[in-house]
Amino acid sequence: MPATAAFALAGVLGISQATFEASAADTFADRTRPGAIGALRRPQPGPRPETELPDAVQPVAIHGPAGMLIAVETADGWSPLRPGPLRMGLVVGQAYRLRLGGIPGRDGEELFPTVRILARLTTPPGTAWRFPVEVAIDADDLAAALGGAHVRRVVYLACDSSRPDVVAAKWFDVQPGGDALDVARTLGEPVAELVIGNRLPAANP
């Protein structure tokens, strides 16, 4: 009988300990945000964790016609020309110089547009790089710029919740004398501006 009693007591203590440990773990999980434990680990090889993405930086994807090459000016000079889309993080409000080469049908000719992010997108936590601002450079825009025209493209998000946001592949021309940025403000929230026209690298924007 004493042996049976001792066994039963050990079983009750074991259950109590397990319950206590589970309760402690639940309490810690409830009081910390997702990823808090992993954030304490040493950095692992691979893409930069999105939790470290500064609030002022917006992921961007720049597209162009097939065969076109894109580079961006950095503090160390121009990055290598490479096929699009060119994905990178840009500081909101800062103008960046681009270099466009390999333009279809215009061998040896280059353009040096500027791109500026006007606002940061609000995306679910951890998904900023999955939803970049899409900036599409159209073949007609390239032809107009190479012909001497000044091309200004504004990307905006539609305010009308009953239809999808305007995507970069869909665009329209404003009326002569109209301001693309002003028109975009009447339709939604402008998020990016692309200006094409320079045949040579411009001075600091």
| Lowest-confidence region among 61-70, 171-180, 188-197 | 171-180
DSSP character at residue 202: -
pLDDT average, residue stretch 86-102: 94
Q: Assign 186 a pLDDT band (cuts: 50, 70, 90).
A: confident
pTM, two decimals, is 0.66
Q: Assign 14 a pLDDT band (cuts: 50, 70, 90).
A: very low
Q: Assign 94 a pLDDT band (cuts: 50, 70, 90).
A: very high
Among the listed residues 142, 168, 170, 144, the one whose alpha carbon sits nearest the alpha carbon of residue 155 = 168
pLDDT confidence of residue 11: 38
Determine the Cα–Cα distance for residues 199 and 113; give it in Å rounded to an integer: 9
pLDDT average, residue stretch 49-69: 84
How many residues are there in the chain? 205
91: number of Cβ within 10 Å: 14
Determine the Cα–Cα distance for residues 147 and 35; give it in Å rounded to an integer: 52
pLDDT confidence of residue 122: 85
